[in-house]
Amino acid sequence: MLASLLASFLVTATVSTWIDLRRQATLETNRLTQTARVIGSLASDAVAADDRAESFKAIRSVAQMPGITYARLRSLRSGLLAETGGGARLVSDATVDGGDGRLSIWSVLSTGSIQVTAPVMSEGETVGAITIFSQTPELRGRVLSTIWTTLAGALVAVVAGLIVAQRMARRISAPIVALAGLVRRVDETRDFSTSVNIQADGEVADLVAGVDTLLAGIRERDVRIAAQVEGLESEVAERTQELVVARDAAEQANAAKSDFLAVMSHEIRTPLNGILALSDMLATSNLPQRQQRYADVISKSGKSLLSIINDILDFSKVEAGKMDLERVEVDLAEAAEDVASLFSEKAAGKGLDLAVFVDPGLPSVFADPTRLRQVIGNLVNNAIKFTDAGGVLIAIDRDPENDVRTRIAVQDTGPGIAADKLPTLFEAFTQADQSTTRTHGGTGLGLAICDRLIRSMGGVWALSSTVGVGSTFAFSAPFEMAGSAISTPVVAPGGHISVRGLPDQTRAAVLRYLSAWGVGATDAQDGAAIAGDCAPVPGFGVVVCNSEDAAETIVQKARDACVLVRPLRRADLREVVSQMCDGVRPRLAHRSDQPHAGVTFPGVRVLVVDDSEVNREVAVEALSRLGVETFTAEDGSQAVERLRSQTFDLVLMDGSMPVLDGFEATRAIRAEEAQTHRPRAAIVALTAHVVGSGADAWKASGMDGVIHKPFTLEDLVRTLGRFCADRAQTRTDPQRDGVASAPAVQPDPEGMRTDLFDPVVRGELSAMSRNGRADFVQRVHGLYVANAPLRLAEIVEHARGEDRDGLARAAHALKSMSLSLGAAAVARETSRIEAAARSGDAVLAINVDEIQALVALTLAEFEGMSSAPAPVLSADEELAAAIEREELHLVYQPLVERRGRLSGKVEALVRWTHLQHGRLSPDDFIPRLEAEGGIARLTDFVLARAMQDLRDRPDITVSINASAAEFQAAGFADRVATAAASQGFPPQRLEIEVTETAMLDVSAASRTVDDLRSRGFGVALDDFGSGFTSLHALRELKFTTLKVDRSFVERCTHDTASAAIIHAVIGVGRALGMKVVCEGVETADQAEFLRVAGAHYLQGYHFYRPLTLDALPGIAEEAA
């Protein structure tokens, strides 16, 4: 404080002294300068005239002025004119020149005199100068007096300030110092009972009171703690005893549960296996058709029950430590994509996007494929179950924290799980929310089983979840790699593909695949593209659809369109990406139930190279159905020789063959092509090597592609379409399965043993038999029956002789021919033997015994196939059976008003899910029913079911499709009215749609339209613009609704003709008093165009997909 006072006073004194000195110097200088100017003005005339006498008179007066001792006048022309006085002055004394000169403070203190020079002005001009000299002893005195006076005042002020500060310090610092000492003593002694008795005022008093309150609080806390500690020991002892009792009870309950499940395992399986076995036998016996269906339902219900029980028994096995894991080679991509395929329908039914990404750099691993699929399937099932919007992504790659482990993750966009619930998810019979069981079902065992399986694999979980965002269930496991890490092939360095319109999960998977393959992704609207808008992509593009039905629709509209169905498979995606980067139109054909229908390749020459006669026969037959001219070779050396003298459009080359295998043969062919400069042959591997070191051997040998056995016609169509696209033709009369007369040999996929055979391959062979190629099926069966025992004998011989190479070749040969005929069990076992022989593992005798038993069973099944004609059901009979089995159900697609609000109108659409063949496309079964006269049964079913479903939904009006033939038939209106009356359904809420393409008889149709309208029913003309209805006929037919065909809607935003047609149709419909509906609205641009064009209602995936009854919204719900 003292220092601050001194500093402030010193600064103040210095500034004050400086100002006073400056003022004294200025006053003295101004006085002398003004004196010089006055004398100069008096002498101006004399100086101008150089008059010395007058000049002397002018300056003589300075002698009377105090302090001035000398003066002189000088002329600019004549020099010195006059001077007076005298006096000595130092050179260092102050001098001021001109009227504005100033003296420095130092010169004022050090000088004894001041010399001032001023100009002499005459008539505005300088004619000379006057200089006066003055002694200034009193100036220094005045300045020093000022300094001493200021310093004295400052000193007095400092003393006064110090006195005041001292008194204030005693009142403020004393209490603070005392308080600090008190706190220090309390800290040292830990005695918080000390009271604070310190006198203080103001804020210091508040501080003292605060410290006193703090000490009082500490004393109170110590009292409570002491009271708590007194009874703590006894309380801890009591609680410990309670925990011991609870632990013992829990262990006893868990042991009892495990014992119960372990004991019941046998008790449950024994009768269930008997039920399944007997029901299977009944289903394949010569019972009447209805009883056979009953037995089939019993069998399938028993298998569903077995699946549920297996979850419980798996849990029992895991807890009992009896879960043995298999160790075989597993392709992770195949495993994940197979699981995704199983759940694709379930995901699509909820409008979810299901996608898979498997790092292309990951090799196959050794694991238990069944248990691995079980874990992934359970996680995917849970994700779909609890997710209502968005999607699910299965991602498999290396663990970023430990690259020797593989990370498998299932990510969803569901409701998320609270952080405090995550640790309990893996507890048996536990779910995150008990309402989950009521809403979604389940027992809570699935994740518990998964947890134990993952731990038995050496895996660890990595769970993350955000409420309202989604969850990620991931685990990493140290799977042993079946080979070295795969160097991910770069498809096209620097290449770019546009990715647009894909849902989030699929887009994320596609972008990761493109990045792994070295292909850049853009959002460009032109060029090569992978698009998800379910419309043909101009140029080189691939369309990604969410269902087979949507894909079929695109393929029918654009035969050259390349369509993929979600969830995407990596192999398919890589193939089309490679083609687009090569500048080739992608040719991956859409997979359908009849892949061969409508496509042939006449004149194409294909060389089939395979050492198996069965495989050659199957390949030749399949290619012949596609109009291909085929040639064969039995080994690689024959293929090399034939290619030297002949040209082929395509070579299908087996990998493993005697003499010279396919890969070495391809290398030889490529070397000769380079030497001779002959055109490069298109060579595609035809191999059973799906995983392992041989899976990618075709790439290293220089082949152009691969088809895996067992192959399908679709595989051949896709490959031929890639290499021979310019030779493809569309067949005008595609055959339909089930229409041709019964063949002599009828392999029945529905009655076969699924544990022995592949239903897909057997189904294709069955279709070939029904379509007039029973002779071929019988021939390949005979070849297999003749050759399989020979290959089996070689396997046994080489196994006993420990000839690993011979064993691998024999096993591969039997596997290859088994795959071609769908003998899946034999193929799996021979694949295992082949892998063991090639890897050097010991081939146990039990493996040989198993393959012998499997071959015997398979041959017995082949020989037991009846050669008698099998009955072929008509389309109407098949439909009747399907309705009885409840295979048909309805979905409803809402119509919206122009502004996007629900209109209260829906269209009923039928879906057929066959028990054996899966989802059937309406484009297949409806034309067949129309052709065979069975469409009336379908119409009656849809009418009855729709009115049952919507009877209690008065806010909804439903439209139902009818075929043109039955619509024009007499009595159709009576059928509709009778059906509505029997259901108690108001006619005003029912509209009948008839397709425009087949309406030819205007008079007959007009009667039906008028009759229906008179009874209160609505009548709609569907697909207007796709047929031949004239405007005259449209005027005569009093339809209430006109539905514009989707083919115009698809192109309305970029095709002027389609836009003009839509405007015209809407104008005509409005003029005739009809409500105009536009179908197939897929984008926001289409919706906006149609709204402006004046359509009354819009229908399409942009607004709503077809929904089940439970998911169907109401107008009241939307308003709410």
Q: pLDDT tens digits, residue range 83-109?
A: 887 766 666 667 777 555 566 666 666
| Among 21-30, 874-883, 1015-1024, the least confident range | 21-30
Q: How confident is the model at residue 45 (pLDDT cuts 50, 70, 90)?
A: confident
User: Cα separation of 568 and 546, whole Å?
Assistant: 10
Domain with 28 in it: 2-148
Is residue 181 assigned to a domain? no
Is residue 218 assigned to a domain? no
Domain-ending residue, one of 98, 126, 148: 148
Shared domain check, 799 and 694:
no
DSSP letter (8 states) at residue 410: E
* AA identity, residue 708: H
Over residues 1056-1074, the mean pLDDT reads: 89
**Other CB atoms within 10 Å distance of the CB of residue 904:** 18
User: Cα separation of 492 and 665, whole Å?
Assistant: 27
Q: How confident is the model at residue 744 (pLDDT cuts 50, 70, 90)?
A: very low
> Would you state the structure tokens that stand for residue 665, as one six-digit string?
């043969």
Is residue 179 assigned to a domain? no
**Other CB atoms within 10 Å distance of the CB of residue 1002:** 17
List the beta bridge partners of residue 542: 530, 562
Q: How confident is the model at residue 524 (pLDDT cuts 50, 70, 90)?
A: confident
Residues 6+ apart with CB under 8 A from 634: 609, 610, 611, 616, 657
Shared domain check, 548 and 460:
no
pLDDT tens across 894-905, in order? 999 988 899 999
Question: Higher confidence at residue 695 or residue 65?
Answer: 65
Q: What is the pLDDT of residue 317?
A: 57
Question: Which strand (E) or helix (H) includes residue 701?
Answer: helix 697-701
Shared domain check, 370 and 247:
no
> Would you state the structure tokens that stand for residue 1104, as one six-digit string?
């709503």
Tell whether pTM > 0.85. Answer: no
User: Cα separation of 806 and 793, whole Å?
Assistant: 12
Is residue 194 assigned to a domain? no
Q: What is the pLDDT of residue 986?
A: 94
Residue 403 Cα distances to 360, 443, 478, 479, 925, angstroms: 15, 36, 9, 11, 51
Question: Higher confidence at residue 436 or residue 725?
Answer: 725
Is residue 639 assigned to a domain? yes
Residues 6+ apart with CB under 8 A from 915: 296, 300, 885, 887
CATH number at residue 810: 1.20.120.160
Max mean pLDDT among 336-345, 591-600, 815-824, 1087-1096 falls in 1087-1096
Is residue 161 assigned to a domain? no
Share of the chain above pLDDT 90, in %: 17
1079 in Cβ contact with 1046 (< 8 Å) = yes
* Count of domains for the chain: 7
Residues 6+ apart with CB under 8 A from 732: none
Share of the chain above pLDDT 70, in %: 75
| Among 7-21, 326-340, 486-500, 1000-1014, the least confident range | 486-500
Shared domain check, 270 and 133:
no
CATH number at residue 505: 3.40.50.2300
Backbone angles phi, psi at 302, to 5 degrees: -65, -40
Residue whose tokens read 């010569």? 286
Q: How confident is the model at residue 782 (pLDDT cuts 50, 70, 90)?
A: confident
> What string of DSSP letters covers 779-798?
HHHHHHHHHHHHHHHHHHHH
User: Cα separation of 879 and 937, whole Å?
Assistant: 8
Shared domain check, 881 and 866:
no
Which of these, 612, 950, 962, lies nearest to 790 by C-alpha position?
612
| Start-to-end C-alpha separation, the chain | 75
Mean model confidence pLDDT for the chain:
77
**SS3 of 991, please?**
strand
> Would you state the structure tokens that stand for residue 596, as one six-digit string?
């061969």
User: Cα separation of 1060 and 1062, whole Å?
Assistant: 5
Q: What is the pLDDT of residue 379?
A: 92
**SS3 of 1042, please?**
strand
Shared domain check, 339 and 315:
no
Shared domain check, 719 and 777:
no
Residue 448 Cα distances to 314, 428, 455, 694, angstroms: 10, 5, 11, 37
| Residue 637 confidence (pLDDT) above 60 | yes
> Would you state the structure tokens that stand for residue 113, as one six-digit string?
């005199």
User: Cα separation of 942 and 962, whole Å?
Assistant: 10
Q: What is the pLDDT of residue 961?
A: 92
Domain-ending residue, one of 555, 581, 607: 581
Domain-ending residue, one of 119, 148, 177: 148
Q: How confident is the model at residue 227 (pLDDT cuts 50, 70, 90)?
A: confident
Q: What is the pLDDT of residue 510?
A: 92
Shared domain check, 1082 and 1014:
yes
Q: What is the pLDDT of residue 484?
A: 60
List the beta bridge partners of residue 267: none
Is residue 592 assigned to a domain? no
CATH number at residue 902: 3.20.20.450
Shared domain check, 548 and 623:
no
Over residues 56-65, the mean pLDDT reads: 76
Instruction: Give the CA angle between residues 247, 253, 255 to the nearest 5°.
Output: 100
289 in Cβ contact with 296 (< 8 Å) = no
Question: Which strand (E) or helix (H) includes residue 721?
Answer: helix 713-723
Shared domain check, 457 and 351:
yes
pLDDT tens across 138-163, in order? 666 666 777 777 777 777 777 777 77
Is residue 865 assigned to a domain? yes
Shared domain check, 1100 and 956:
yes
pLDDT tens across 783-834, in order? 788 888 888 888 888 888 778 888 888 887 888 778 777 788 888 888 778 7
Shared domain check, 339 and 313:
no
User: Cα separation of 986 and 1017, whole Å?
Assistant: 9
